Amino acid sequence: MMNRRKILRQFAATAGAAFGSPLFPGISQAAARVSGGGPKRVIFFLQNQGFDPATCIPAGMKSSGSLAKAKLPEPIAALEPFKERLHIINGLHGMHTSPSHSAFFGALGGYRGTDGMPPSGPTIDYELSKVLPETLLPHLCIGMDSMENMKAKPTVANLSASGAGQPIFMHSNPNHLYQMLYGGISEGNIRQQHEARSSMFDRIEQLAAALGKTLPMMEQRRYGQFVKGFHDINGLRERLGGVSDHLRHFAPKVDERYKKPQFETDWHDVLLDLGVSALKAGITSVLTIGSGRGEIFGAWKGLGVEEQGHNLGHMEQPNNPIWIKIRQYNSRMLVKLMEQLESVPEGSGTMMDNTLIVYTSNNADKQHTSGTNWPVMLLGNCGGVFKTGCFTQLDGKRPINALYTSLLRTAGVDCDRFNMSEKMAAKFDSGTGPLKEVLV
């Protein structure tokens, strides 16, 4: 079994010697920040329409305690063999995010986020991608939706942002994402499409840059974000081309599900495969999965669920056979993520030993919520930094920002608050610093 981190270090050293400078100039500093423990990669999995606590808290558990003798509820029963790696948290809040149908960027940003409102700051997934050991693509977002939406809108931006007014797109068409990640090492039609798209993006970047110079200064600044997007795409293509031999070991096999999906869940499954492959190959260290893409839509006909979109949010989740199927499907995806990362050696353990999975919703506990309760499940302990095998009941006085502060602290960032001013904290946070209940 190959050690992906060792391969990347060898490649970086070789490339640095060949070109006179390190391929990843910040990798040694970033690695040093997390060498004492903490996540070296993080996966965020957000299911839309809310996360009712009754679908994850074992029956009868009213206060904090061990999960060892508890039986997990049916919706997350697939995680039963992994209870020792699970931490269920109830009682965080997100009232300040003003969720209703969705908190949108506010779910990962910890700030007000409603429909049509641009992000007011960076989200936690992007902030972590800046401080974790550097990779070819610091942050990958994938979005799962109905087939119609994924085809009509292959990229959307609803959950992640690199800063105020700077949303990050989620990839929803696996064919496009495969071409972006592995088109350079493919053959036949995929390779031809990759080369055609690459040539087109190069030309668009050139034309866009030239046009931008003719605009007024204020418009140039705004237009520059558009140009930068194409520059980033073209730069990523070149970086991936430089490690083509390495990528061949991790590229998923393209099958009928890509071009001829029977249900939207076929695309959901291969999008997950692509996300896993990007983690295992070292292409990215932060993966964000948006099931429902941070909105109120989404479909799961492949699970035998005929209802879709907004109607799902008006159904009670506990003991609902429809929501049991959706949550069970999510749980199987979580199991696949863990098993795949567990299969790859890293250091004295495996990739999973250095990974944290954060599972929650973009909309607190339910549709049309006030955000007073925002359940979260954590999977993995990152070398013993995070508590696992337990349930924690909080008093509802600390916001989701406190959890995000905890993630940054364990990644080596010295901060007491994430995206929350002292004035906001006085109203919405009873404490400061990380959540001591989640850390060892």
What is the CATH classification number for the domain harbouring 96? Answer: 3.40.720
Q: Quick one: angle between helices 400-410 and 124-131, nearest 10? A: 10
Same domain, 72 and 137: yes
Amino acid of residue 66? S
Residue 2 is predicted with a pLDDT of 43
Residue 229 is predicted with a pLDDT of 52
pTM here is 0.86
Same domain, 355 and 259: yes
Same domain, 126 and 272: yes
- Domain membership of residue 7 (yes or no) is no
Q: Tens-of-pLDDT digits for all 440 residues of the chain? A: 444 444 444 444 333 333 233 333 333 333 334 445 678 999 999 999 999 999 999 999 999 999 999 999 999 999 999 999 999 999 999 999 988 889 999 999 999 998 889 999 999 999 999 999 989 888 999 999 999 999 999 999 999 999 999 999 999 999 999 998 998 776 666 555 644 455 544 454 455 556 556 656 666 555 555 545 544 665 677 778 778 888 989 999 999 999 999 999 999 999 999 999 999 999 999 999 999 999 999 999 999 999 998 889 999 999 999 999 999 999 999 999 999 999 999 989 999 999 999 999 999 999 889 999 999 999 999 989 999 999 999 999 999 999 999 999 999 999 999 999 999 999 999 999 999 999 99
**Which residue in 382, 381, 435, 379 sits closest to 406, CA to CA?**
435
State which residues form the domain around 237.
187-249
The CA-based dihedral angle spanning residues 103, 108, 110, 116, taken in that order and rounded to the nearest 10 degrees: -40
Residue 362 is predicted with a pLDDT of 96
Same domain, 159 and 170: yes
List the structure tokens of 340.
């795949």
Residue 228 is predicted with a pLDDT of 56
- Domain membership of residue 31 (yes or no) is no
> Which DSSP string corresponds to 225-284?
HHHHHHHHHHHHHHHHHTTHHHHTTTPPPP-HHHHS-SSHHHHHHHHHHHHHHHHHTTS-
DSSP letter (8 states) at residue 56: T
- Domain membership of residue 411 (yes or no) is yes
Residue 201 is predicted with a pLDDT of 46
Burial (Cβ within 10 Å: 0-12, 13-18, ≥19) of residue 199? exposed
Residue 240 is predicted with a pLDDT of 81
Same domain, 381 and 289: yes
Q: 3-class SS at 119?
A: coil
Residue 209 is predicted with a pLDDT of 57
Domains contained in the chain, number? 2
